[in-house]
Every structure is written in C-alpha cells, then in structure tokens.
Structure 1
C-alpha cells in the first residue's frame, strides 16, 4: 500500500476529512490545475498535528494550501498529499477588546467584516484581497498601503513534527511578500491581529471605497492569481507591462488583462503551460525594452 493509500486509511481511522482525485482547478482562483491524488481537510489543530506527524513519519512533504488565491498548479496534478486549511477550520473571535483571533481558514472577507461588526479598525486594507488568513500571513499580503505585518501580533503554527508553537513580532520575519513561513514549512493554524477600536461607520465606508477601487480597476470577472509579478524596485510591474504594449497579449487561453496589465488572467480555459509561457513572454519583453527583471508573485506548484 502506497503512502497516499495509507494516509486515506489513517484519516478514516481518525475521522479526518480526506478526499481523492480532487481537481485543483476547483481549489485555486486561477481555476487551473490537474487532480490532487489525496486532499485532507482538517477541522482542528489536533487534526493538523495528526496529519503532519503522519507525513513526517512517512517522509513526504505535503502541499499546504488555503484558498489557492496565488497558486498556479501544474496540469499534471499533485501526487503528494495536499492539506487544505479552509472552511472547515475557520473559527473567529474577539479577545481583550481589540484583538481579532482567526483560525487560518477564515477568509479575509470574513475577518474584515467581523472586525467592522465589532468596530475594530486597521484591517480595512485587506477587504477584497482574495484568500484566507493563513495564506495572507504566509505571503504578507498587502494592498492600498497596508500589509499583514502591520496588524499581526502573533501566529500559532504546527511544525512538520506535529508540535504547536507561537511566534510574535520580529520572529515572523515579515518582508515584501515574505514571512517566516515562506521558509520554515510550518502550517499556520491561528493568527492574532492587533487592531484598534474605531467608528463602525467610518470603517465600513473605507472598506466600501477600497472594494469599489478593486472592482473598477482589476479584472475580477476573470479567474486569476491576483497580481502576477512582484513590484520591482523603482517602478511598478503593471506600468512596465503597459508601457511595453503587452495588454491583451495572449498565449493559448491565458491573457494579459486589458483592464490591469499586472494581472495575467485565465481568459479562455487556460492551462498552466499557457500561463507559464505568457509569463516568459512578459518577462522577456519587459527586460528587453526597459531593463527591469520581473519576478513572479504567483507560485508555480508542481507535482
């Protein structure tokens, strides 16, 4: 019996949700990707511990995902176990009056709305960012002048050995689209945000304003991985791509958005290969015409 088959039996024994042959296009905002042979959906920290200990003992490194908002999954699918920290793990609460505590599967939309409902300010910038809390902390997601590093107080995670640990402050090692978790392989389980008491009406107005900006400027009507490229020092990726006349450029079903050049979109049943080919076209032309080297923000996931 192979590792995946053993994991399925292990999950069955421990009453952990485990599915087989799950199309990854249904778990990513790009709507691209072959099947995950095994996908585990834990609903508690204990279940995350159990699954990671199993994988660690078996000598396999699982792919840990949230809402898949910045993932480009290969067309061939994922043979290793996939752990989806999603809706089954999405508890949320207020502590100490001004701290929002979220399990990693809470969506940013839910977290922002919950904060507004309790008159807590500081998280408005994240309203409209796709994905969940765990993924946002993993990549230090940000928009409109704010980043996760500005509001994260502490993060609780589970190591591959199944140990629960909490890190705070500088230990989170936040940088531009980077955190300690982009390096350490741990599974984020819970995040404590330090917010401030504010005026609910003003908070809602700011959230609505930022959402309106997104709807107006971003191609939300098409599947994508969000901003495709990181911001290069000294300029903006979208501006560089636009200046190179690349809006509307297509490879197969992938296209540089005509609405926002920073987005490569799944325009017409694109494959992972289509997107990767278009990424290279954009990088090559921008490098040739401007001298800037664009680095991908989306993460290419192989089997």
Structure 2
C-alpha cells in the first residue's frame, strides 16, 4: 500500500503518462541493453525534476539520472529506486553569441543550432550522440575539442535538491570528468559562449568530422560508443587491435571489426556479455602491454 502511495505522489507531480513502473531500460539505451527500472520518470520542467527529486530524497529512494543512454551500460538486473529520464527537456535558445541548451537536448542538435546561427566552437560535437547533461557530466569531446572549451556556466540541481548556477571553473572539467560526477549534481541547462563565424566554413568542418566518424565508427550496430578512456601516451583502440582482439566475441557482444575501441551488440547481447568482454579486453591488454585500460562508459544497475 505504501509503495502505491509513493507512486501516486510521483504521478501527482509528473502526470500518469510520465511515470512508468517496472519499465525495461533497453528501450532507452544505445546498446539496446538494460534490465527494468522500479520507477522511470519523465519530467518535462525543472520544477518537476526538483519536486520529484525532493520526494525521492524524502522517501530515501535511490536516484539514478539517465540522459539519452548513449555512453551507459545498464546491468541486466536493472535499477532500483527512481530513474529520471531527462530527454523531454530539449529547448535550445539563442542569446547573442551564447547558446542555452536544456539537459535533455542532444549535443548534436546543439551544434547544428550553432551552425544555423553562424556560431563557431561546437563543431567538434556534431557527431557526439550524448545529451547536454551527459556531455557536461563527462566533459565530452572529440576531434580535438571538448565541452570545457566553450562552456560558460551550468544550472544544476544539488544533492540537497537546490538549484544553483555554477561557472565553468566550479565544474572542474577534466578528461572525461567533472565536479558534476563527484558531487552528484543533476545538470538542468548549459550556457555555451561561442564566436561569430562563417556559416559555410562551419558547415564544411562539420561535414568533414561527420564523414570521419561515419567512415571509422561502427554505427550500423548498437553500442555505447567508445568503451575505454585513452590511456596516457596510447590509443585504446590501437592497443586492443595490436592485442589481436578485433572481432573477439562473448555471447552477443563483439569487439568491433571496424574500430577496436568499440564493443557492439551484434546479436541480442546481455550486459553480462558486454562486461565479460570488457574484462577480457582489459586482461589481455594488461598482459601484452602492461597498460590498464579504464572504462569510459558508465556502468550502472544490478547484476
């Protein structure tokens, strides 16, 4: 009865269609993998995020934040407590040479919005599949650019349930890391400071990066993107390739034959298949090159 009462409180905040019970998460991840969420919430305003978050805190429920599920691996046992899916908050607005993007907006769409307004600085992001929230959480980057280069500030919800504005320096953005991760903040929106540029030059750069991505990455299969962080002085994909692991397979998960830094879901892979293959790759590379590969993909949920 108590559980139903709590569910009804979430429904009062979010409406019935935005609260899903025992919802399979494989529908919401790029890998097409993931067990069930006890409660999956789809807030559509910052106020709803804050109210639902404070209710979850009050009820002492575990809280997990999910953007568009591009750089995450959810274990087969699913996620207990409350999962916030923030993909409904997708507004992108212009303020002079600044772009303000909500947490659920795709960073690809944000880079295209910049192109539409002849603003340069976000070209590197034109192929990154993550959401704005995830991009700040990871300080996402590609082709020599990263979020830290163009971010001015972020509006976040703290673990105490308060909304605060943080300047870029407060976010401590490093290689695939940020104070957002360390402090358990939820990104609500980001402000990017860009520069007026030449629209055709911006487009040419984005076309070039899109071509590079499509020619080198295994986009034809579900995957979580780049699985491993770049080790100092090495490239993860090259180490994996030189270890003879390209094409290695456990269950339905395979080290991509197109780019060894990716593990793809070729045949109804489970999270367990993925994790076993990740461990096998780490062990083999350590034995051959004495390099410990660290995962870049966020691994969450229960066995």
Q: Under a length normalisation based on structure 1, what TM-score does the superposition of the two structures give?
A: 0.96
- Pick closer, same or farther for the CA change 1:6–1:148 going to 2, 3 Å: farther
Q: Does 1:181 align with 2:158?
A: no
Question: Secondary structure of the residue that 2:254 maps to in structure 1?
Answer: strand
Equivalence for 2:59: 58
Q: Secondary structure at the match of 2:48?
A: helix
- 2:287 is matched with 288
Provide the rounded CA distance (Å) in 2 between the counterparts of 1:124 and 1:185: 28
Asked if 2 retains the 8 angstrom alpha-carbon contact of 1:52 and 1:161, the reply is no
1:89 aligns with 2:81: no
Q: Do 1:52 and 1:159's aligned partners in 2 also have CA atoms closer than 8 Å? A: no
How many angstroms apart in 2 are the aligned matches of 1:30 and 1:266?
6
1:142 and 1:22 mapped to 2: Cα distance? 31
> Which of 70-79 and 238-247 deviates more?
70-79
Summarize the Cα distance change of 1:101–1:210 in structure 2 as closer, same or farther, 3 Å threshold: same
Q: 1:108 to 1:62 in 2, by over 3 A?
A: same
Q: What's the counterpart of residue 265 of structure 2?
A: 266
**Aligned positions of 1:186-201 closer than 5 A:** 186-201=185-200
Whole-angstrom CA distance in 1 between matches of 2:174 and 2:6: 35
Tell me how far apart the structure 1 counterparts of residues 293 and 6 of structure 2 sit (CA, whole Å): 39
Aligned to 1:220: 219
| Alignment deviations for residues 234-257 of structure 1 (CA, whole Å, 9 cap, x no partner) | 101001001011000000000000
Cα RMSD over matched residues?
1.1
Q: Where does the alignment leave 5 or more consecutive residues of structure 1 unmatched?
A: none
TM-fit CA distance, 1:169: 2.4
Bigger drift between 8-17 and 138-147 goes to: 8-17
Structure 2 unaligned residues grouped into runs of 5+ = none
Equivalences for residues 23-172 of structure 1 within 5 A: 23-86=24-87, 88-95=88-95, 97-172=96-171
**Hey, what's the Cα distance between the residues in 2 that align with 1:264 and 1:36?**
24
CA 173–222 in structure 1, closer or farther in 2 if over 3 Å, else same: same
Deviation (angstroms), 1:2: 4.6
- CA deviations on 1:149-203 (whole Å, 9 max, x unpaired) are 1111000011233211011021111011001111111211010001111111111
1:109, 1:127 within 8 Å by CA — same for their partners in 2? yes
**Secondary structure at 1:8 match in 2:** helix
The CA distance in 1 between the partners of 2:206 and 2:10, in whole Å, is 40
Cα deviation, 1:121-170, whole Å, max 9, x if unaligned, reads 10000011111111011000000000111111000011233211011021
> 2:255 aligned with 1:276, yes or no?
no
Corresponding position of 1:20: 21
- Is the contact between residue 223 and residue 265 of structure 1 (CA under 8 Å) also seen in structure 2? yes
The 3 A distance-change label for structure 1 pair 247 and 34 is: same
SS in structure 2 opposite 1:248? coil
Aligned length: 300
The CA distance in 2 between the partners of 1:128 and 1:199, in whole Å, is: 20
Cα distance 1:150–1:283, how it changes in 2: closer, same or farther (>3 A)?
A: same
